[in-house]
Structure 1
Amino acid sequence: MDPVIQSLLDTDLYKFTMMQTILHQHPTAQAEYAFKCRNKPDLPLAKLREEIEAQLDHLCSLRFAEDELAYLGELRFIKADFIDFLRLFQLQRRFIEVTVPEDRPDELAIRVQGPMLHCMLFEIYVLAIVNEIYFRQFPQEPSWASGEVQLAGKINLLKDFAQGNQRRNPFVFFDFGTRRRYSRDWHEKVVATLAHEAAPFMRGTSNVLLAKRYGLTPIGTMAHEYLQAFQAFGSRLRDFQRNALEHWVHEYRGDLGIALTDVVGTDAFLRDFDLYFCKLFDGLRHDSGDPFIWGDKALAHYNQMRIDPAGKMFVFSDGLDMEGAFALYHYFADRVRTGFGIGTSLSNDCGHEPLQIVMKLVRCNDQPVAKVSDSPGKGMCEDANFLNYLRDVFEIEQQ
């Protein structure tokens, strides 16, 4: 067996930043995560179950190496006690289960359930494993050849773009491709190539292992699971976003200052993102809904708070390709700093339709939690009553 995951650093930075916060502030939290494929694969995922089980067995044998811990420890926002925790850490196979639903024999059901601290790292590894095992079913040579052509085209687009297209703020992008990559090796080739040939524009990667290997900046702050968990952490539901942001500020004290806006929709987020948080956070991340409408709303909100948005940053990360990033840059970059997290379009443009797979938090501390999103189809909740209650509390219209 060729292991998909060979290092526990082969994941996104925000898994560690969220995990450190949970260790310090909610170490006894219990969590449950569920896998979902949003599109119909060309091959049934159920046929991959045996290989995925074997990959998970290997994953749960891995430990952090000392040089990996030393690298993490050099990041100024990672604390020594968290490194000590990771030195002892090992994923537990008993917390993850892979089944084939009786009523959906072509699909996979993957669930992770247990202490949040011991479960939250599974997400990116599971998604990378499912992707790579799936794409190994197709001929590899033509896929790589197609990917190389597409990658060269993207680099040429960047070079052409550099001629006379600059705005007040520079164009910068980041690799966000770990979770839906074609394969580990292809992802590394993409990042290594971009780091060498697109250095003025390529400012980092969410993948910690590749950042370490190629001297790039590791990028990431928080994901949906972090804010969702606060729906079950004891405050009034109406206050969960403020509570989550307050805890984040307490943990990082000015570092990692990009806030995610769409757990219960941008309008509801901005109602909670008052002057206090506007001043404390460096900017916002877009991950669903129309990005132009989102950006205009965010700019209007900063102006209403009498804060000059020129000093803030908008990070766009919803299904972007280069052309989409260029269009957003032209529209916003004279008014606010911009950054573009490009994922699947970089790491899985190899001639096959990518899998639209996610693994989301669905319960915390034995209570349902939800992601509503600004895009129909991107929300996730397994309890209709809780979802309806959440919508009522935050005045969210049915999509």
Structure 2
Amino acid sequence: MLEKPLYKMMLSHSFNIPVKVTYWDGKSEVYGNGTPEVEVIFNKKIPFKDITNNASLALGEAYMNKDLEIKGSIQKLIESAYESSESFMRASKFRKFLPKQKHTEKQSQEDVQSHYDIGNDFYRLWLDPTMTYSCAYFTNGNTDDLEAAQIAKVHHILQKLNPERGKTLLDIGCGWGTLMLTAAKEYGLKVTGVTLSKEQYELVTKKINDMGLEDQAEVLLEDYRELGDRQFDYVTSVGMFEHVGSENLGEYFKDVAKYLVPNGVALIHGITRQQGGATNAWINKYIFPGGYIPGLVEIISRIEEANLQITDVEMLRRHYQRTLEIWDKNFNGARPTIEGLMGERFTRMWDMYLQACAASFQSGNIDVIQYLLTKGPSGKNLPMTRQYMLTDK
């Protein structure tokens, strides 16, 4: 019972909303003033040292295993923990970063397939019809029309490139192909997409054939580092650099530069921490093996080292928060089917993952940023003002 006072000390300073905590002995306490907005129930005592060693891993596993229950919004609870100035989520003595991750081509393939090859049927249950698994772009405010927002995101990215018909585009980490196929069909570009996911490769290949775009689009099941001396007028990469690891971030941007023709344009879209790079042990173990969220300064320095120049930077934090909230709503709408397909533990894990990420964006713990880059003087061959980016397709 010696650990319980330590729990009380930690939890009494962990949230900026009133929270009810029910301990493993059945006794409850309310921390904060007012009616509790969320209740945390410890069905089993978690060793306190496990929490201090790595809170995200210890508490995430406890929730997956039903040793920990949360009544109310997981997102609100985690957001509160991030925003509380004294929270264990912020205190440096409780932060533990993972050891260096391997990111060989073989390891990258295993990491990607462990996440994206869960199955297209799983992702269809809660993504929008475009099967886009990245931050949407809500041009009409806080709308619930996720499909329209994902299509708007694709056009927003392509318009930033100011593309000319007949030119070439490389999409690094092409996902289920919405961006590359839109670029081919609606912008007249010759496109190449690369992915390490077999499920994505097979679906994109089918889409290319179904749309009659065989002469204009190709998808490759290979590592982006294997493209040799090929060059393209434009490069896009959405939600990709979070997978390459800190040690490979410089190589990633150098490859972007290598694949661009002189004065070519790239749009790189990815999750970034403005406070500095970090990993999350629970997400790395169960959701994104090998994942690393780079810091803003780290990314800027790698861009500079690759001899690329920044033309435009846009923060889309609130857009990703809203995207995740809709994904989680869709996910829970399909929860019985997902539990039948994947099991209860997996379903609890993914629900927590989606809500935790939404809370992290909401609190400003992480951001998502679009970097418009040129291989040559910034903005060369692009319009003088940003207005061209905002013209509706």
User: TM above 0.5, one fold?
Assistant: no
Richer in strand (by share):
2
Higher RCO, 1 or 2 (CA under 8 Å, sep at least 6)?
A: 1
- Of structures 1 and 2, the larger Rg is shown by 2
TM-score, structure 2 as length reference? 0.26
TM-score, structure 1 as length reference? 0.26
